[in-house]
Amino acid sequence: MWNSFIDSFKPAVASETLTSQNVEDGKEYTEMEKININAANSNLSRKLKSRHLQMISIGSSIGTGLFVGSGSALHTGGPAGIMIGWFIMATGVFATMQGLGELSITFPVSGSFNVFASRFIEPAVGFAVGWNYFMQFFVLLPLELVAGSITVKYWNKDLNPDIFVIIFWLLIVVITLLGVKGYGESEFVFSLIKVIAVIGFIILSIVLICGGGPNHEFIGGRYWRDPGAFANGFKGVCSVFVTAAFSFGGTEMIGLTAAETKEPRKTLPKAIKQVFWRICLFYLVSLTMVATLVPYNDDKLLGSSSVDATASPFVIAVVNGGIKGLPSVINAVILIAVLSVGNASVYATSRSLNSLAEQGMAPKWTGYVDRLGRPLAAILITDIFGLFALIAASNKQEEVFNWLLALSGLSSIFTWLSINLSHIRFRRALTVQNRLLNELPYISQCGVWGSYYGFALNFLVLIAQFWIALFPIGGKPNAYDFFLSYLGLPVLIASWLFYKFWKKDWTLFVRAKDIDVDTGRPNIDLDLLQQEIAEDKAKLAEKPFIVRVYRFWC
């Protein structure tokens, strides 16, 4: 057993992945061909099951953005602002995830969207998006560890927060070293707890709104009338768009799992389709409850920040309802959400760095994968940086983390834009090369127009963020607030230019006729695939109308 444990850390054996194009001895490959082949023949282990994907697709987005960040959104946008912002962003996320689903199921390769950006747009874009995404989650681990230590202060303010930073850090290190199966199982448990908590909160909220709480006070739509539905007019709604976009960050992580999923053609479509509906249920319904129970001018919302769980509108709603004991339960759920996001951040960071190494965009040693399919070097780099969270005891922690987050603060928007554009370019390549959609194992329900819509919406969010950064609500234009909110854009442009100078390649995009639409596809008999799809459609046609509608959307 000891020898097996030691041997598991040795380099992985050569990949036996069967793709439509494998390496031929003696052939000279272009930079783009190397990227496609290396991504297709990754040594990552395929151990994630359908139930893991279902919970990862939910859990990666239900975190501090919902439980804590929604408080500041309610304060700046009001209840109507929250509902408008989250609903419109949800439609954009759905369209984006449909495009990602089509690409990920057709090409279940390591790195997913940053490889798609390199492949279907051009390598410099993949480099910039990949490193930006890496930085987003690289910084997120210590931030979530600090948030966890501050959450514990809800029960005891006298203890040194670094004690809990170390405890939580050790827990995450153990989970991440268990490999992808350990990550899948832990996320399954974490997400299940969060889902149960949100459902319980929704039921409790309905009771409180109807006057069934200890105070026996009927609330109804009181706070929508006074202080009102909107807090800061149109600018307030724009600020909510930005917060909503950040809170949905992580939904794209389902694409990263494609390279580590058993039978991605069968398991990924369901996960892709259900993520939108589940997030809509858990976000829109729970936020409706929060907006009805908590007035946007509540004094306790004024202290809301990314690491202050005591200002959670969920906790405030229960406290205002006169219920004792439950705020501690909700705070415990927030703590679990924090650990879940920290765990997910190690997964996202390590897989992104491993993919960048496979593409020749990061040092080769950072792409080391062991015999258990763990990107070991990337995991250790991320875990070690997590110790930066020991700054939790410092009085400068918030300022430090604000600037670290600013480096990749717009990363989710850039990632979604790259997914939309990659899908548009992929469809264009199919058209130019006279390839048919019936070759694809999964077709986006929104089609290519969904990606155009997602691209336009995310671009508008960037404009809204620029406006809010330049003219902050309740403040005057100043360089500090602007760069704190918009530093991500110059960092992305600098990354893109760095790659251009490094590789001396000034091509702006890969021409549609030259895009590789084959490498990375599993060897599937197209005739057999079309026959299976036709059989599935015939079986579905025999089902009742309600079942057909459910299967289409879920």
pLDDT at site 307: 45
pLDDT at site 408: 66
pLDDT over threshold 50, residue 498? yes
Residue type, 432: V
pLDDT at site 539: 81
DSSP letters for 397-431 = HHHHHHHHHHHTTTHHHHHHHHHHHHHHHHHHHHH
- Check residue 24 and report its DSSP letter: P
Q: Which helix (H) or strand (E) holds 223?
A: helix 222-225
Average pLDDT, the chain: 81
pLDDT at site 554: 67
Better-predicted residue by pLDDT, 206 or 108: 206
Q: Which helix (H) or strand (E) holds 265?
A: helix 264-280
Q: What are the Cα distances from residue 49, in Å, to 97, 189, 257?
A: 19, 14, 10
CA angle, residues 546, 255, 174, in degrees to nearest 5: 115
What tokens does 66 get? 């919902």
pLDDT at site 29: 62
d(C-alpha 288, C-alpha 201), whole Å: 12
Mean pLDDT of 348-371: 87
Candidates 330, 298, 310; CA nearest to 156 is 310
Mean pLDDT of 502-530: 80
pLDDT at site 397: 64
Q: Residue 35: helix, strand or coil by DSSP?
A: helix
Q: Which of 41-55, 286-300, 355-369 has the lowest mean pLDDT?
A: 41-55
Q: CA gyration radius for the chain?
A: 23
Burial class of residue 552, CB neighbours in 10 A (0-12, 13-18, 19+): exposed
Q: Residue 48: helix, strand or coil by DSSP?
A: strand
Better-predicted residue by pLDDT, 134 or 27: 134
pLDDT digits 0-9 by tens, 117-126: 999 999 999 9
Q: Residue 261: helix, strand or coil by DSSP?
A: strand
- At 61, phi and psi to the nearest 5? -115, -20
Is omega for the bond preceding 477 within 30 degrees of 0, making it cis?
Answer: no
d(C-alpha 162, C-alpha 306), whole Å: 18
Q: Which helix (H) or strand (E) holds 213?
A: none
Which residues, listed in sequence order, are joined to residue 261 by a DSSP beta bridge?
Answer: 48
pLDDT over threshold 60, residue 303? no
pLDDT digits 0-9 by tens, 28-39: 666 666 676 776
pLDDT at site 452: 96
Task: Provide the pLDDT confidence category of residue 108 given band limits of 50, 70 and 90.
Answer: confident
CA angle, residues 511, 516, 519, in degrees to nearest 5: 165
State the residue for tokens 């897989």: 351
pLDDT over threshold 80, residue 392? no
d(C-alpha 45, C-alpha 375), whole Å: 10
Cα distance between the two ends of the chain: 43
pLDDT at site 16: 43
d(C-alpha 61, C-alpha 284), whole Å: 13
Q: What are the Cα distances from residue 307, in Å, to 194, 319, 402, 536?
A: 18, 20, 11, 47
pLDDT over threshold 70, residue 339? yes
pLDDT at site 121: 93
pLDDT at site 451: 95
Task: Provide the pLDDT confidence category of residue 18 given band limits of 50, 70 and 90.
Answer: very low
pLDDT digits 0-9 by tens, 415-426: 999 999 999 999
pLDDT digits 0-9 by tens, 164-184: 889 889 999 988 888 777 888
DSSP letters for 145-199 = HHHHHHHHTTT-SSS-HHHHHHHHHHHHHHHHHT-HHHHHHHHHHHHHHHHHHHH
d(C-alpha 340, C-alpha 349), whole Å: 14
What tokens does 193 get? 């707890």
pLDDT at site 14: 58
d(C-alpha 105, C-alpha 283), whole Å: 27
Buried b (16+ CB within 10 A) or exposed e, 385-400: ebebbbbbeeeebeee
Q: Please report how the helices 161-177 and 376-385 are oriented relative to each other, as an axis angle in degrees rounded to 10.
A: 170
Q: What percent of the chain has pLDDT over 70?
A: 86
**What pTM value is reported for the model?**
0.88
Task: Provide the pLDDT confidence category of residue 542 given band limits of 50, 70 and 90.
Answer: confident
